[in-house]
Amino acid sequence: MPSKPRQFQELEILREKPVALVRDMAARMAVSESTIRRDLAELEAQGLVRRLYGGAVLEGQAADREEPLDVPRGSCPPVKDLIGRTAAEMVADGDIIFLDGGTTAQAMVPHLFQRHDLTVVTCGLGVASALAGAAHVHTIVIGGELDIESQCFVGPLATEAFQIYHLRCNKAFLGAGGVSSEHGITNRLLGRVALKRQVLEMAQRTIVVAEGSKIGHTRLGFVCPMCAIDCLVTDTSAPEDELARIRAQGVQVKVASNGQ
**Tens-place pLDDT, residues 81-111:** 999 999 999 999 999 999 999 889 999 999 9
146 occurs within a structural domain: yes
Q: Residue 80 in contact with residue 235, Cβ under 8 Å? A: no
Angle at 244 between CA 190 and CA 241, to 5 degrees: 85
Does one domain contain both 192 and 127?
yes
Q: What is the pLDDT of residue 53?
A: 64
Q: What is the pLDDT of residue 129?
A: 87
- Cα within 13 Å of Cα(227), Cβ side: 3
CATH label of the domain that carries residue 161: 3.40.50.1360
Does one domain contain both 224 and 98?
yes
What is the Cα–Cα distance from 248 to 238, expressed in whole angstroms? 16
Q: How confident is the model at residue 71 (pLDDT cuts 50, 70, 90)?
A: very low
**Containing structural domain, residue 108:** 78-256
What is the Cα–Cα distance from 34 to 97, expressed in whole angstroms? 37
Q: Residue 56 in contact with residue 36, Cβ under 8 Å? A: no
What is the Cα–Cα distance from 249 to 258, expressed in whole angstroms? 27
pTM of the model: 0.74
72 occurs within a structural domain: no
Give the list of residues 6+ apart from residue 52 with CB closer than 8 angstroms, or none: 19, 62, 65, 68, 69, 70, 71, 149
Total of domains in the chain? 2
Does one domain contain both 147 and 227?
yes
Q: Is the pLDDT of residue 65 over 90?
A: no
Q: Is the pLDDT of residue 64 over 70?
A: no
Q: What is the pLDDT of residue 76?
A: 60
Does one domain contain both 233 and 170?
yes
Averaged pLDDT for residues 243-253: 98
3-class DSSP assignment, residue 205: strand
Does one domain contain both 33 and 157?
no
Q: Which residues pair with 20 in a beta bridge?
A: 56
Q: What is the pLDDT of residue 225?
A: 97
Listing from the earlier edge strand, what are the strands of the sheet with 137-141? 137-141, 118-122, 96-99, 169-174, 203-209, 231-235, 252-256
Strongest mean pLDDT among 19-33, 121-135, 197-211: 197-211
What is the Cα–Cα distance from 131 to 105, expressed in whole angstroms? 12
Does one domain contain both 206 and 120?
yes
Give the list of residues 6+ apart from residue 77 with CB closer than 8 angstroms, or none: none
Phi-psi category of residue 200: left, alpha or beta, with phi > 0 → left and psi -120 to 50 → alpha: alpha
CATH label of the domain that carries residue 40: 1.10.10.10
Q: What is the pLDDT of residue 45?
A: 83
Does one domain contain both 145 and 176?
yes
| Domain edge (last residue) among 62, 86, 107 | 62
Does one domain contain both 50 and 119?
no
Q: What is the pLDDT of residue 61?
A: 55
Does one domain contain both 153 and 212?
yes
Does one domain contain both 96 and 160?
yes
195 occurs within a structural domain: yes
Averaged pLDDT for residues 110-138: 91
3-class DSSP assignment, residue 204: strand
What is the Cα–Cα distance from 104 to 106, expressed in whole angstroms? 5
71 occurs within a structural domain: no
157 occurs within a structural domain: yes
Does one domain contain both 37 and 98?
no
Q: Is the pLDDT of residue 17 over 80?
A: no
| Domain edge (last residue) among 36, 62, 88 | 62
**Tens-place pLDDT, residues 203-235:** 999 999 999 999 999 999 999 999 999 999 999
Does one domain contain both 85 and 195?
yes
**DSSP code at position 104:** H
69 occurs within a structural domain: no
Averaged pLDDT for residues 169-187: 96
Q: What is the pLDDT of residue 74?
A: 41
